[in-house]
């Protein structure tokens, strides 16, 4: 497979190169693409250095697939150019996610809907991916009525500048560049992305709308509070979910332990539960603190953690490419 990675020098782009190498995606030629000021810089893939090229050169090289992590406006401009040249685009930005003509794919749930005609495929938001991977098997069995989710999100979701802000603050570096309006070390910021007219943030509404689209059920009610915390290993989520029918808690644990992409970490006697510390650099979604909410019928509490740069971004995109390649759709 000839593979282009667009946005190859960013935090997610670098992770995409790492994940492509680690998962041994059959890359025969690699075309790292970045903005004009990065052209000529080098990135590393499987111990070899590759020069960053322009998007025009990448299109001319006719890769089978282009994995994008270059931001929404770049994607809106460039993805159709790649697609018009017959190149399948897997896009990590929010640009195409809610476009009814584009599929929003988490391979464990809905890769089966993909066909060779899908030339721009959207990768969902990180906080949505980990939640739906854990909840979908339960939805199939009990039917989800309502989800209340609060997130605890890693600064890596914002990008390199935010990671630098956190470590600069920790080292007491004065006047370092700020990714956030406020200090993040020793703080918690209850705002991810911009505020919308309804008082929710864009990140919160992504969790509402993307969940419904991926789970193919517009009746699922979702309400979210998304929060940034001074952590780098992954996003954590406290999820309260009400089902249409009642469940047996041991059966819930069994369903989760058998669900694709899910690892149950729930041993109270040993104080074992998911944490970003353990999820970091892993591809799975970790679920623990599985318990009944006794305040209303058919309701469950869960704690869900995953590495947002991996399953929340790069791994999910590479898994889509693996699916397409395995089915001969590239």
Interaction site with ligand 2RA (CB under 6 A):
125-127, 153, 157-158, 192, 203, 308
Cβ neighbours of 185 (radius 10 Å):
14
In the complex, the smallest distance separating the C-beta of residue 268 from ligand 2RA, rounded to whole angstroms, is 29
- Tell whether residue 54 is among the known ligand binding residues: no
Catalytic residue among 34, 89, 126, 224: 126
> What minimum distance in Å lies between the beta carbon of 155 and ligand 2RA?
8
- Tell whether residue 37 is among the known ligand binding residues: yes
Select 203 or 237, whichever has its Cβ closest to ligand 2RA. Answer: 203
- Whichever of 64 and 306 has its CB closer to ligand 2RA, that residue is 306
d(CA 330, CA 326): 9
Does residue 126 have an active-site annotation?
yes
Nearer to ligand 2RA, 64 or 128 (CB): 128
State whether the Cα torsion 177-180-181-182 is positive or negative: negative
> 137 or 233: whose CB is closer to ligand 2RA?
233
Question: Which run of H or of E encompasses 141?
Answer: helix 126-142
In the bound state with ligand 2RA, the residue whose beta carbon lies nearer, of 155 and 300, is 155
| Residue number with CB closer to ligand 2RA (143 or 183) | 183
Q: Hey, what are 20's tokens?
A: 């492509």
Burial code of 106-127, b = ≥16 C-beta within 10 A, e = fewer?
bbbbbbeebeeebbbbbbbbbb
CA distance 248 to 262: 19
For residues 84 and 67, is the Cβ–Cβ distance under 8 A? no
Q: To 10 degrees, the CA torsion angle through 276, 281, 283, 284?
A: -30
Report the alpha-carbon distance of residue 120 to residue 111 in Å, rounded. 14
Instruction: Provide the minimum distance between the beta carbon of 270 and ligand 2RA in the complex, in angstroms, as a whole number.
Output: 30
Residue 189 C-beta: closest distance to ligand 2RA, Å: 11
| 235 Cα distance to chain centroid | 10
Does residue 263 have a known ligand-binding role? no
The phi and psi torsions of 262 (rounded to 5 degrees) equal -110, 140
The total number of residues shown for the chain amounts to 330
306 is in an annotated binding site: no
212 carries a ligand binding annotation = no
Q: CB 294 → ligand 2RA: shortest distance, Å?
A: 32
Residue number closest to ligand 2RA, CB atom = 157
Tell me the torsion sign for CA atoms 291, 187, 204, 95: negative
Residue 284 CA to chain centroid, in angstroms?
12
Planar angle of CA 281, 130, 191, nearest 5 degrees: 95
Could you say which of 15, 235, 280, 311 is catalytic?
235
Beta carbon of residue 90, minimum distance to ligand 2RA (angstroms, whole number): 15
Is 11 annotated as a binding-site member? yes
Is 260 annotated in a binding site? The answer is: no
Annotated binding residue 9: yes
Q: Whose CA is closest to 302, among 218, 212, 236?
A: 236
Query: Which residues contact residue 168 at a Cβ distance below 8 angstroms, ignoring those fewer than 6 apart?
Result: 176, 177
Q: Which parts are annotated binding residues for substrate?
A: 153, 228
Q: Which residues are annotated as a binding site?
A: 9-12, 37-38, 97, 153, 177, 228, 308
| Catalytic residue annotation | 126, 235
Please report, in range form, the residues annotated as the binding site for NADP(+): 9-12, 37-38, 177, 308
């Amino acid at each position: 497979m000839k593979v282009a990675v667009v946005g190859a020098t960013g935090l997610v782009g670098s992770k995409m190169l790492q994940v492509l190498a680690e998962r041994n995606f059959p890359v025969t030629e690699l075309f790292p693409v970045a903005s004009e000021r990065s052209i000529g810089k080098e990135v590393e893939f499987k111990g070899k250095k590759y020069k960053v090229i322009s998007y025009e050169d990448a299109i001319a090289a006719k890769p089978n697939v282009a994995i994008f992590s270059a931001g929404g406006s770049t994607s809106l401009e460039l993805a159709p150019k790649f697609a018009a040249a017959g190149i399948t685009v897997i896009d990590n930005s929010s640009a195409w996610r809610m476009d009814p003509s584009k599929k929003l794919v988490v391979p464990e749930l809905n890769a089966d809907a993909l066909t060779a005609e899908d030339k721009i495929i959207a990768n969902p938001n990180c906080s949505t991916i980990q939640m739906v991977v854990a909840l979908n098997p339960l939805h199939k069995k009990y039917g989800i009525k309502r989800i209340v989710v609060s997130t605890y999100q890693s600064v890596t979701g914002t990008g390199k500048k935010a990671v630098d802000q956190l470590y600069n603050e920790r080292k007491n570096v004065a006047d370092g560049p700020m990714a956030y309006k406020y200090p993040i070390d020793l703080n918690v910021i209850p705002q991810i992305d911009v505020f919308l007219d309804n008082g929710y943030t864009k990140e919160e509404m992504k969790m509402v709308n993307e969940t419904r689209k991926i789970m193919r059920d517009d009746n699922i009610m979702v309400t979210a509070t998304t929060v940034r915390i001074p952590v780098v290993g992954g996003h954590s989520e406290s999820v309260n979910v009400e089902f249409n029918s009642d469940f047996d808690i041991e059966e819930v644990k069994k369903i989760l332990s058998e669900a694709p992409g899910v690892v149950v970490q729930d041993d109270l006697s040993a104080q074992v539960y998911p944490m970003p510390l353990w999820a970091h650099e892993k591809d799975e979604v970790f679920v623990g603190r599985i318990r009944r909410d006794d305040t209303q019928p058919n309701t469950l509490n869960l704690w869900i953690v995953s590495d947002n740069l991996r399953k929340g971004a790069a791994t999910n995109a590479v898994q889509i490419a693996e699916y397409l390649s395995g089915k001969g759709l590239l």
